[in-house]
A and B are shown apart, each in its own frame.
Chain A
């Protein structure tokens, strides 16, 4: 198990592909390539529900990538931490628990990694909104930076 896992959450449909697209870009990123697989795991997950808990197990840093709808301008890079998730409106969940539900559940059972961040792009109110390559690249840069900072801090411990 690598200490860092990045999980792109989504489905094949429309803007919901964002998490998968970003993981694909991360897989091609020159800075990250040497870190895989010993230090970094990059995964795409199709509506993982509670499987997220097992996927994050053992990681020191988990990064989840998803599309976000929080009222900001479409295309804004959004960074949420665990506390933000707790303050989010409760999603009524079904067989497939939503990301927020799973994080709250894992928090209650003590199964969250020590560090968890959710990164995404704000989709705004337009369900047909499509991110530009520039917006995607910006999100990729933010995630790469996060990983580098984490590794630097870890090396100094």
Chain B
């Protein structure tokens, strides 16, 4: 039977996503006619701000792009700049950058799982309402988030927009005593992180198998954070320098953020893509926990993203402990830098997926051009594709409130970070 109702739904505010956008949905004759994830937030122009700046300013400027994943921006930037200057980064600096990244993953994922996503899966409008009945869940989220912030503070000087990163390494190395205290806190949190994986796997998640392409970094010896080749579930395996040969960014009229396509198709970046492509790079102890949940990766259920985030929290704790347990002060926490002209690329795994940077510098180390491809813009086309598939599978005959909630849940599942400045997503469903 064809649904010929004409229904208009206006939802003025959608909480628990980052940034300013809207979802326009038209259902005509029981089918989705148009579906647009509209991002109308003004462009923030960071790439232009960077032009003419000294390379030393870049880590602090790009950290301001995001209050949740500043480390990712700093890491992609310094790797790109170091590739221009020909600086080998290994040993202490490489390890501690990984620790810093662990902190960001823990902080970002803990926040999303407990305060942004969990209310959807437990049937609450927001975390405050959820806390009345599930105070223990909220407390766990806050504890883990605070622990991630502790790690970021240790090497970044502060957890929001950290200032400890420089091209070549860090401005400061924390004392062994400070590190030992944090290691003890990390160890104490391990049982809680393990329980988090089991808890996310026990949630009543929608069973929504879909076909999609995953893209992530892949490293020969470790679960990817700072380095690796760009790989996809479709067989792509390229150096990060060759991003433009396969990926395109394009304007669409309804978004001020660029969409990205891989060989002409939407693709997924982020924790589910990472774990789908790199599960074998996780330590045996983490893989045992995954196996015990009964969830199998690679997974085609987008809602398994919340489980993937929990797995990455556990992994980040284990990895940070591994890297810090024999911590010793370095002779100096950075490699000296001599600027030179050239172009360089950096690509690291932000909590929400690959974050690709490219810079061209002159001989004095001033930025001539900058290009930044963040994960949320890469996921935009995939989110639209997912919404279409998910809502049709869910049933377009359902009432507007149900459709709206499912649409919001689908979007929030990507933990989109549209920007850090404004906070509203308006949804308009036009059913004809």
Indicate if the CB atoms of A111 and B139 lie closer than 8 Å. Answer: yes
User: In the complex, which of the residues A47, A93, A108 contacts B16, with contact meaning CB atoms closer than 8 Å?
Assistant: A93
Indicate if the CB atoms of B128 and A47 lie closer than 8 Å. Answer: no
In the bound complex, CA of A53 to CA of B132 (Å): 16
User: In the complex, which of the residues A50, A93, A97, A110 contacts B135, with contact meaning CB atoms closer than 8 Å?
Assistant: A110
19 contacts between A and B (CB under 8 A): A47-B67, A50-B111, A53-B146, A93-B15, A93-B16, A93-B423, A94-B15, A94-B423, A95-B67, A96-B67, A96-B420, A104-B128, A105-B127, A105-B128, A105-B138, A108-B132, A109-B135, A109-B142, A111-B142
- B128: which A residues are within 8 A, CB to CB? 101, 104-105, 108
User: In the complex, which of the residues A50, A92, A96, A101 contacts B424, with contact meaning CB atoms closer than 8 Å?
Assistant: A92
A104–chain B nearest beta-carbon distance, Å? 5
- B16: which A residues are within 8 A, CB to CB? 93-94
Indicate if the CB atoms of B135 and A108 lie closer than 8 Å. Answer: yes
Indicate if the CB atoms of A50 and B145 lie closer than 8 Å. Answer: yes
Given A54-B142, A54-B149, 17 further pairs, Cβ under 8 A: A47-B67, A47-B160, A48-B160, A50-B111, A51-B145, A53-B142, A53-B146, A92-B15, A94-B16, A96-B67, A96-B420, A105-B127, A105-B128, A105-B138, A109-B131, A109-B139, A111-B139
Indicate if the CB atoms of A95 and B116 lie closer than 8 Å. Answer: yes
In the bound complex, CA of A46 to CA of B161 (Å): 9
Known A95-B111, A95-B116: A109·B67 in contact at CB below 8 Å: no
In the bound complex, CA of A53 to CA of B139 (Å): 10
Q: How many residues of A contact B (CB 8 A)?
A: 21
Is B104 close to A, CB under 8 A? Answer: no
Indicate if the CB atoms of B131 and A105 lie closer than 8 Å. Answer: yes
Known A95-B67, A109-B131: A50·B142 in contact at CB below 8 Å: yes
Is B158 close to A, CB under 8 A? Answer: yes
A1–chain B nearest beta-carbon distance, Å? 14
Interface string of B135-153 (1 = CB under 8 A from A): 1001100100110010000
Is B17 close to A, CB under 8 A? Answer: yes
A59–chain B nearest beta-carbon distance, Å? 15
Interface string of A100-117 (1 = CB under 8 A from B): 010011001111000000
- A92: which B residues are within 8 A, CB to CB? 13, 15, 423-424
In the bound complex, CA of A111 to CA of B42 (Å): 38
Interface string of B104-121 (1 = CB under 8 A from A): 000000010001100000
- Sorting the interface of chain B by its residue count into under 10, 10 to 19, 20 to 34 or 35 or more gives 20 to 34
- A101: which B residues are within 8 A, CB to CB? 128
Find residues 406-424 in chain B having any chain A CB closer than 8 Å to their own CB. 417, 420, 423-424
User: In the complex, which of the residues B138, B159, B161, B423 contacts A109, with contact meaning CB atoms closer than 8 Å?
Assistant: B138
- B312: which A residues are within 8 A, CB to CB? none
- A110: which B residues are within 8 A, CB to CB? 135
Indicate if the CB atoms of B67 and A51 lie closer than 8 Å. Answer: no
In the bound complex, CA of A51 to CA of B116 (Å): 15
- B131: which A residues are within 8 A, CB to CB? 105, 108-109
> Max chain A CB contacts within 10 Å: which of B127, B161, B424?
B127
- A96: which B residues are within 8 A, CB to CB? 67-68, 420
In the bound complex, CA of A92 to CA of B139 (Å): 21
In the bound complex, CA of A48 to CA of B67 (Å): 10
Is B319 close to A, CB under 8 A? Answer: no
Interface string of B253-276 (1 = CB under 8 A from A): 000000000000000000000000
Find residues 50-97 in chain B having any chain A CB closer than 8 Å to their own CB. 67-68
Is B18 close to A, CB under 8 A? Answer: yes
In the bound complex, CA of A108 to CA of B134 (Å): 9
Interface string of A20-63 (1 = CB under 8 A from B): 00000000000000000000000000111111011000000000
In the bound complex, CA of A92 to CA of B145 (Å): 20
Name the residue on A nearest B130 (C-beta). Answer: A108
Known A93-B423, A94-B15, A96-B420: A46·B160 in contact at CB below 8 Å: yes
* For the complex of A and B, 9 pairs with smallest distance between CB atoms: A108-B131, A54-B146, A94-B423, A109-B135, A95-B18, A92-B15, A46-B160, A104-B128, A94-B18
Find residues 1-59 in chain B having any chain A CB closer than 8 Å to their own CB. 13, 15-19
Indicate if the CB atoms of A51 and B139 lie closer than 8 Å. Answer: no
Find residues 93-147 in chain A having any chain B CB closer than 8 Å to their own CB. 93-97, 101, 104-105, 108-111
Interface string of A74-106 (1 = CB under 8 A from B): 000000000000000000111111000100110
Name the residue on A nearest B136 (C-beta). Answer: A109
In the bound complex, CA of A82 to CA of B16 (Å): 23
- B159: which A residues are within 8 A, CB to CB? 51
Name the residue on B nearest A94 (C-beta). Answer: B423
- A49: which B residues are within 8 A, CB to CB? 67
- B420: which A residues are within 8 A, CB to CB? 95-96
In the bound complex, CA of A27 to CA of B135 (Å): 35
In the bound complex, CA of A53 to CA of B111 (Å): 13
- B127: which A residues are within 8 A, CB to CB? 97, 105
- B138: which A residues are within 8 A, CB to CB? 105, 108-109
A20–chain B nearest beta-carbon distance, Å? 13
- A104: which B residues are within 8 A, CB to CB? 128
